[in-house]
Homo-oligomer: A and B are copies of this chain.
Amino acid sequence: MSNKIKIFVQRVKVLIQNLEAEVLASCRVGADVYLLRLQAPTIAEIARPGQFVHVRCSETLDPLLRRPLSIHDIGDGGGLVFLYQVRGRGTAWLARQQAGSRIDILGPLGRGFTLTTNKRIALVAGGLGIVPLLFIARQALENGNQVDFFYGARDRERLYQRETLQAMGVNLLLATDDGSAGFRGPVTKLWEQYLKERRYERAYACGPREELAEFAHLAARYDIPAEVSLEERMACGLGACRGCVTTLRDTTGNRYYENVCTGGPVFDAAAVEWEG
């Protein structure tokens, strides 16, 4: 027992790192959305799609806690790319940091997506849900998968990173609430149209909770193994404080709490208790 854990500890030691990473570039890509590139080769080389980094967004004690940000992409030469929206004081601080500043990060953290090879897969992103899905799209293409990337947002201005996705070679299928690009309506509705014709061997989603619930519902109906990336407020990010739980259901239907930081942020869509 204690031996097994020792090995686990060894493994973790190598993986999770706390370091000050230099800002390589930070640029605004939308009204309140920023693309941030940090120099963090030791994290970049081991990070997997779906994992996140816990970012200190202050030089003092206010704001106090780190902010979790999913890894959006891996750049050349050890760059770690993030895409985030300014929501409050933490992300506003981050947006003020310019190239050359150093940012205290902890990662990579959490359980990533389950990868496949040579399959047809569907990625369903709502709004900023694009963040982890771009990373898995890149990896999935490298692994020989065929990727249908369903991407919905309020309007065409909020469809960030379209060029990057297109250049990557995914089959990009857009949806907007106002019809200013692609399908008019929810991205899950668009996906449903494809589901009737195409057989996906796996599906992955990230976005607003109601959209994920609908995604999970569709995946179950069409019997597709599906994973979602969830959000919850976090403190440690390491599984120690039990502050970040979400409600899951086991196979017998019993509800229980699982850490999003270590049990997730990626969960089997069928295991999530969407009601609670």
List residues of A whose CB falls within 8 A of some B CB. 58-63, 89, 93, 96
Contact = CB atoms under 8 A, between A and B. Distances in A.
A179 B200 CA distance: 84
11 contacts: A58-B60, A58-B62, A59-B93, A59-B96, A60-B60, A60-B62, A60-B63, A60-B89, A60-B93, A61-B62, A62-B62
A87 to B, nearest CB: 15
Oligomer copy total: 2
Nearest to A64: B62
Contacts of A58: 60, 62
Contacts of A60: 58, 60, 62-63, 89, 93
Contacts of A62: 58, 60-62
A208 B62 CA distance: 33
A104 to B, nearest CB: 15
Contacts of A61: 62
Contacts of A93: 59-60
A93 B62 CA distance: 13
A108 to B, nearest CB: 27
A58 B59 CA distance: 10
Q: Which of A59, A60, A62, A96 has the most CB of B within 10 A?
A: A60
A59 B63 CA distance: 10
Contacts of A96: 59
Contacts of A59: 93, 96
A126 to B, nearest CB: 31
A176 to B, nearest CB: 36
Contacts of A63: 60
Q: Which 7 A-B pairs have the closest CB atoms?
A: A62-B62, A60-B62, A61-B62, A60-B60, A58-B60, A60-B89, A60-B63
A223 to B, nearest CB: 50
A67 to B, nearest CB: 14
A162 to B, nearest CB: 34
A255 to B, nearest CB: 38
A16 to B, nearest CB: 27
Contacts of A89: 60
A62 B59 CA distance: 9
A60 B94 CA distance: 13
A182 to B, nearest CB: 40
A98 to B, nearest CB: 10
A135 to B, nearest CB: 31
A102 B96 CA distance: 13
A261 B224 CA distance: 71
A186 to B, nearest CB: 38
Nearest to A96: B59
